[in-house]
Structure 1
Amino acid sequence: MSNRNKNDYSPILHEKSAEYYWKGTGALSIKTFSGGRAMYQAGHGHFAVEEGRYLLLNQGQEYSISIEADLPVESFCVFFPEGFVPEVGRSLTMPVNTLLDEPFRTDNGQIDFVMRTYEILPELSCVLQQMRLDSMQQLHDEARLEEQLYALASVLIGEHLQVRRDIAELPSIKASTRQELYRRLYTGYEYILAYYKQPISVSEVAEAACLSTNHFLRSFKQLFGATPYQIIKEKRLQEAEWLLRHTDLPVTEICFEVGFHSQGSFSTSFARRFGDSPSAYRHEE
């Protein structure tokens, strides 16, 4: 993977690497990976970016990325020119008469996206897949790429508006307090996604979110509809189910690999979640 700078700007970074580390700042960007995961640290947050999700980083955000894998991990990252996404946001949210009266007005501000991982929705996936294919085939068409960037930016604006609606539902008198609480709760959530395979406590996650344990527990369940422990357990079971379907690892090894400490509790939890014991589930597959 190569570093990027303002004198060598490209909207796409498409590379493969089994080991990689870089630290610096960059443009507003989408980070996606396949065949493994990448670990990011940005601000106070820890982010594990896995297949099917993307990390959204704001303009000028300082961050570090590390990849440590047995096989090469494919990265596909898209970088937006400064001011590009806010301008798309203006065109999507302003009244039509305003856009007609001021067609060439530019928005010099920046959108403060919540830094977190997001699910790759079908409309985003379609554009990213086409951009990835273009990159592999070394197709360079400026008009085509510009349209693709507009399509991606439109999805990001939609996500941002949904996040604002979610923030508005949190209990607080001040909007700024709701926004800060949302960011801290997601910092805790991302910490769980990054380290769920390891022994982690609720108090540890709350500390990562810079919240008291009681405040964190109460607010976390309201936002996510589940407790931190339930999220941790679900992630471990999902990972175990994937390993059973895609690898030949022994059930006992899978049990400890995903973070369970007892094969008995693993088998019981797996059966409740998927309707069969791990061994029976593998045979049925």
Structure 2
Amino acid sequence: MEIPLPRPVPVPFILHESSSQFDWKGSGSLSLKTFRNGKTLYEAGRGHFAVNNENYLLLNEGQEYSLHIDSSTPVESFCIFFPPGYVEEIGRNLISSDLQLLDEPYRYSSASKMEWVERTYAMDNRLGAALKHLRNLYSQDTLDSWAITEQLHQLAVHMLDLHRNVQQEINELDMIRLSTREELYRRVYIGHEYISAYYDQPLTLEQTASAAQLSVNHFLRNYKKLFGTSPHRYLTECRLLAAKRLLLDSDRSVTNICYDVGFESLGSFSSLFTRRFHSSPSQLRAKR
């Protein structure tokens, strides 16, 4: 007895490489970007993104972007590229009735393209955990094609959950028109990502608001609404966390670390660091 098979459905492509120096520019499909052992800088559309061990980047199909790696040690990349309609088809299966799926079990269409908010997401959410799990298994070369397909299917399910969560965040903004809420959310996030990417540079508020294409007052007001804190406090937190990592993982002097992460005053840095971590930079260094 012959079992009718569905026509082949395009499958995601996995890119797993390591490089200490790399530059690339072009466009691609809907994708998830992860990196270990270093940082990669992306420019996509109006956004600037820093991707490292602690986050991943989501980019839309057709988005032009460039990436830059400049590290003293190899940076491991693990990126997944989804063919058109792949995630949307899994979404259709999740919301369709059993009767519909019985009548059209092999239907596949790339017509209803989803738009995603291009930004970085913390690795500590469900999609990030699934990405780390797949990356570890893939690195060990313990998965056959069947197992990889199942893992990628689950990734897509988590992506759809993430999409719904972001839409909920957008809907919580107090603008009447949905298009206004979506655009403001994207612009404020562009400013947020700009801080994350360039916290170690001498940033100004005006420069950051300009990157988001917002006035300073508009950016400040809506940043606080979205993140519950001010851009300056977030900038300071980025610098303090970076300083803590360097104090624990490198032999650079406290003074060099202070200036390397973007602080302009050693005294101010020491005071802020002690208040944040209940230990001075020198005391933390001595404990490692």
What's the TM-score, normalizing by structure 1? 0.91
Report 1:1-285 matches (<5 A): 11-94=13-96, 99=101, 103-107=105-109, 108-121=111-124, 123-138=126-141, 141-285=144-288
Q: Secondary structure at the match of 1:255?
A: helix
Q: Tell me how far 1:105 sits from its aligned partner.
A: 4.2
| RMSD value, Cα | 1.9
- Judge conservation of contact 1:80–1:149 (CA < 8 Å) in 2: no
Range that drifts further, 100-109 or 173-182: 100-109
Q: Which amino acid aligns with 2:155?
A: L
Question: Number of residue pairs matched?
Answer: 277
- Judge conservation of contact 2:190–2:212 (CA < 8 Å) in 1: yes
Q: 1:186 to 1:117 in 2, by over 3 A?
A: same
Name the % identity: 49
What's the TM-score, normalizing by structure 2? 0.90
Q: Secondary structure at the match of 2:242?
A: helix
Separation in 2, partners of 1:231, 1:96: 47
Range that drifts further, 95-104 or 41-50: 95-104
Q: Tell me how far 1:126 sits from its aligned partner.
A: 4.6
Q: Secondary structure at the match of 1:17?
A: strand
Partner in structure 2 of residue 4 of structure 1: none
Separation in 2, partners of 1:121, 1:101: 39
- Judge conservation of contact 1:197–1:236 (CA < 8 Å) in 2: yes
- Judge conservation of contact 2:12–2:83 (CA < 8 Å) in 1: no
Superposed CA deviations along residues 117-144 of structure 1, whole A, max 9, x for unmatched, are: 0112354345434433444344562221
Q: Secondary structure at the match of 1:121?
A: coil
Q: Which amino acid aligns with 2:26?
A: G
Separation in 2, partners of 1:262, 1:128: 39
Q: 1:209 to 1:139 in 2, by over 3 A?
A: same
Range that drifts further, 120-129 or 196-205: 120-129
- Judge conservation of contact 2:14–2:79 (CA < 8 Å) in 1: yes
Q: Secondary structure at the match of 1:234?
A: helix
Q: Secondary structure at the match of 1:118?
A: strand
Range that drifts further, 131-140 or 12-21: 131-140
- Judge conservation of contact 1:83–1:110 (CA < 8 Å) in 2: yes
Range that drifts further, 207-216 or 130-139: 130-139
Separation in 2, partners of 1:242, 1:60: 36
Range that drifts further, 158-167 or 88-97: 88-97
Q: Tell me how far 1:106 sits from its aligned partner.
A: 3.7
Q: Tell me how far 1:96 sits from its aligned partner.
A: 5.6
Separation in 1, partners of 2:76, 2:264: 32
Q: 1:125 to 1:173 in 2, by over 3 A?
A: closer
Q: Tell me how far 1:234 sits from its aligned partner.
A: 0.4
Superposed CA deviations along residues 142-176 of structure 1, whole A, max 9, x for unmatched, are: 22111111111111111110000000011111001
Q: Tell me how far 1:104 sits from its aligned partner.
A: 4.2
Q: Tell me how far 1:71 sits from its aligned partner.
A: 1.1
Q: Secondary structure at the match of 1:112?
A: coil
Q: Tell me how far 1:90 sits from its aligned partner.
A: 2.2
Q: Which amino acid aligns with 1:119?
A: A
Q: Tell me how far 1:109 sits from its aligned partner.
A: 1.3
Q: Tell me how far 1:78 sits from its aligned partner.
A: 0.8
Q: Secondary structure at the match of 2:115?
A: coil
Partner in structure 2 of residue 6 of structure 1: none
Q: Tell me how far 1:93 sits from its aligned partner.
A: 3.9
Superposed CA deviations along residues 243-269 of structure 1, whole A, max 9, x for unmatched, are: 111112111111111111111000000
